[in-house]
């Protein structure tokens, strides 16, 4: 049997000092992207790492995880935020806008899903994220 290469996964990482609001709900977001070609892999990985680093310093960010399957051209993100306003503020940052402009033409498809969980819930799981993403239509 041939061993399959490990899927590059960055485990759930919470910003230092990040705390969920007491009681209430937090916002969770998952995304799935497929590149048009493997030739965009290096750029996708470089931009993803910069965005991950930015999330870890963004107000309201509670945690992030990334999965890359470069041979399949698939990339996934999973993050949680104190609220939707904090997530939306990150999406409007110049770094994120530039990432969308740069990577947009390289994307074959993208899927996004959002949900809320109790602030005292454990970190969101990839199992839950994949289930929710499977229910979302692809956006070209």
Q: Using one digit for the tens of pLDDT, what is the confidence trace for 82-135?
A: 999 999 999 999 999 999 999 999 999 999 999 999 988 888 899 999 999 999
Query: What is the C-alpha to C-alpha distance for residues 62 and 3, in angstroms, rounded to an integer?
Result: 35
Q: Which strand ranges, in their side-by-side order, compose the sheet holding 107-118?
A: 9-13, 61-69, 74-81, 25-35, 107-118
Residue 6 has pLDDT above 50, yes or no: no
Average pLDDT over residues 33-50: 96
Residue 20 φ/ψ, nearest 5 degrees: -70, 150
| Torsion sign across C-alpha atoms 114, 72, 140, 61 | positive
Q: Which residues contact 90 (CB under 8 A, 6 or more apart)?
A: 54, 55, 58, 60, 61, 81, 96
Q: Which pLDDT band holds residue 23 (cuts at 50, 70, 90)?
A: confident
Task: Specify which of 2-6, 106-110, 134-138 reaches the highest per-range mean pLDDT.
Answer: 106-110
User: pTM of the prediction?
Assistant: 0.88
Query: What is the C-alpha to C-alpha distance for residues 65 and 7, in angstroms, rounded to an integer?
Result: 13
Residue 7 has pLDDT above 80, yes or no: no
Count the residues in the chain: 140
* pLDDT, tens only, 63-97: 999 999 999 999 999 999 999 999 999 999 999 99
Q: Which residues contact 8 (CB under 8 A, 6 or more apart)?
A: 67, 68, 69, 70
């Amino acid at each position: 049997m041939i061993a399959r290469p490990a899927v590059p996964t960055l485990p759930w990482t919470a910003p230092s000092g990040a705390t969920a609001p007491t009681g209430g709900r937090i916002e969770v977001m998952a995304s799935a992207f497929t590149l048009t070609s493997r030739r965009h892999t290096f750029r996708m990985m470089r931009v993803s790492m910069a965005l991950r680093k930015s999330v870890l310093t963004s107000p309201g960010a509670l945690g992030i995880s990334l999965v890359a399957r470069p041979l399949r051209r698939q990339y996934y993100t999973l993050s949680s935020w104190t609220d939707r306003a904090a997530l939306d503020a990150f999406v409007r940052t110049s770094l994120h806008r530039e990432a969308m402009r740069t990577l947009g033409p390289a994307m074959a498809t993208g899927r996004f899903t959002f949900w809320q969980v109790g602030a005292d819930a454990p970190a969101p799981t990839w199992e839950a994220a994949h289930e929710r993403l499977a229910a979302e239509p692809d956006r070209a």
